[in-house]
Amino acid sequence: MDFQAILKTVGILTLVSASLSVIISIAERVLNNYGMVELDINNGKKKLQVKGGSSLLSTLASEKIFIPSACGGKATCGLCKVSVQEGAGPLLLTEEPYISAEERKQNMRLSCQVKVKNNMKLLIPEDLFNIREFICDVKEIEDMTYDIKRLHLQLPPGETISFKAGQFMQFYTKPYGKIKEEVFRAYSISSKASEKDHVELLIRLVPNGICTTYVHTVLKEGDKVRLSGPYGDFYLRGDCEELIMIAGGSGLAPIRSLVYDVIEKGLPHKMRFFFGANTLRDLYYMDEFAQIEKDYPQFQFIPCLARPAEEDNWEGVTGFVTVALADQVDSGQGKEAYLCGSPGMLDACIKILKEKGFTDETIFYDKF
Ligand SMILES: Cc1cc2nc3c(=O)[nH]c(=O)nc-3n(C[C@H](O)[C@H](O)[C@H](O)COP(=O)(O)OP(=O)(O)OC[C@H]3O[C@@H](n4cnc5c(N)ncnc54)[C@H](O)[C@@H]3O)c2cc1C
Ligand code: FES
């Protein structure tokens, strides 16, 4: 083939591919143009006229109805379930792992996966309508360990938040560096439920994580951040004599709030808090929990180091938190367990708790 023929072929191919992309983009616009549709919520209690084409999760958020979500719509947390009575189409493959047989009967769907294309009928629990959005001032950022920061986020003047100790907020990042879109992630509230003009979060850096890199390297005191919440069903039931609390890393956040809640409300529960870490540099809030232990004999703090370094001169419990749990908790009788930390650690602890007689009704957790 001579040079001219090659040029001609390349030209034709370029023209064909350009025409194809124009056709695809027009088709996308036509196909995604669902116009205005109606969302009927809770049998006509609320009717919204919304623009079709986006996920149900983001469509509801733009109407200030915030459905719990921790993964930012990636279909990996399973928290964004909503009952869609009509208009959602068949269950998608991405939803299947999160929707049980019982939930299928109730038409439960992952709202981040369902696209709003036509009129829909939804059932949304009333308490989700209380979830609000806040633009907060970053009043303080403190290093708690080499990879955990504490954020003190001040609500706008005059605004307050009511939450149950143990619940979480959604934190929205702004685009930065190569990240061109806002993302949101879940963070448990570590501050006291009685402090209603601010929330504190404990955020552990995940290497290459979008939100935690933003918090650890971009966010500064004096900035403004957007939060929504409170969310979640990890909170005190308290139908028992003793609370067994277990956390690792930033999982300490909701447990701290729970401990203060029990104390401030003058509840009678005994509390034992097992905190698992690798080495001394992973421990934080040590002085504070030691002080609570002194002031309130109902509370016992048990930090456990899995691999203390020689220079740590560690004299406390050595070994995985599971070992301390197996040694020190005799049975599940009269107790509830509250756990927060990585899935691996929590699964291992839950196995031990069940061997001791705890049940699904007496074990509560947030895995992250
Ligand atoms: C109910 C709930 C409460 C939570 N509370 C807290 C809290 O109080 N403090 C806190 O620090 N985090 C908390 N998390 C976790 C938090 O929501 C984010 O998932 C986490 O901070 C990572 O976000 P990212 O945007 O930085 O990482 P992403 O950009 O989402 O992830 C980047 C990469 O890291 C991997 N990755 C994500 N998370 C982890 C992890 N934990 N360990 C190892 N690899 C990971 C991902 O698979 C991905 O490959 C909570 C999660 C839930 C569901
Ligand atoms: S938002 Fe996480 S599964 Fe939908």
In the reported structure, the alpha carbon of residue 206 is separated from the centroid of ligand 1 by a whole-number distance in angstroms of 7
In the reported structure, the alpha carbon of residue 28 is separated from the centroid of ligand 2 by a whole-number distance in angstroms of 24
Give the pLDDT mean for 27-52.
86
Residue 143: strand pairing partners:
149
pLDDT for 23 beyond 70: no
In the reported structure, the alpha carbon of residue 93 is separated from the centroid of ligand 1 by a whole-number distance in angstroms of 23
Give the pLDDT score at 287: 97
Give the pLDDT score at 34: 85
pLDDT for 24 beyond 70: no
Stretch among 64-78, 128-142, 347-361 having the lowest mean pLDDT: 64-78
The sheet with strand 46-51 has its strands ordered as: 46-51, 36-41, 120-123, 81-86, 108-110
Which residues are near ligand 1 (CB < 6 Å)?
A: 70, 77, 168, 185-188, 202-204, 206, 208-212, 232, 250, 253, 366, 368
Give the pLDDT score at 72: 80
Give the pLDDT score at 13: 72
Give the pLDDT mean for 36-55.
96
Give the pLDDT score at 173: 95
Indicate the SS3 state at residue 152.
strand
Of the candidates 24, 26, 52, the one whose C-alpha atom is nearest the C-alpha of residue 38 is 52
Q: Give the mean pLDDT of the chain.
A: 93
Could you give the CA distance from residue 57 to residue 69 in angstroms, rounded to a whole number?
9
Give the pLDDT score at 247: 98
Residue 137: strand pairing partners:
154, 224
221-253 tens-digit pLDDT: 999 999 999 999 999 999 999 999 999 999 999
Buried b (16+ CB within 10 A) or exposed e, 150-189: bbbbbbeeeeebebbbbbbbbbbbeeeeeeeeebbbbbbb
Give the pLDDT score at 31: 60
Give the pLDDT mean for 198-203.
98
Give the pLDDT score at 32: 64
131-172 tens-digit pLDDT: 999 999 999 999 999 999 999 999 999 999 999 999 999 999
300-326 tens-digit pLDDT: 999 999 999 999 999 999 999 999 999
Domains of the chain, earliest start first: 36-128 (3.10.20.30), 132-231 (2.40.30.10), 242-367 (3.40.50.80)
pLDDT for 29 beyond 60: no
Give the pLDDT score at 246: 98
Angle between helices 252-264 and 286-295 (to 10 degrees): 20
Give the pLDDT mean for 104-128.
95
Of the candidates 324, 314, 330, 332, the one whose C-alpha atom is nearest the C-alpha of residue 348 is 324
Instruction: Indicate the pLDDT class of residue 295, thresholds 50, 70 and 90.
Output: very high
Ligand 1: which of 206, 235, 278, 339 to mutate, most ligand atoms within 8 Å of CB? Answer: 206
Stretch among 123-127, 161-165, 197-201 having the lowest mean pLDDT: 123-127
pLDDT for 294 beyond 60: yes
pLDDT for 102 beyond 90: yes
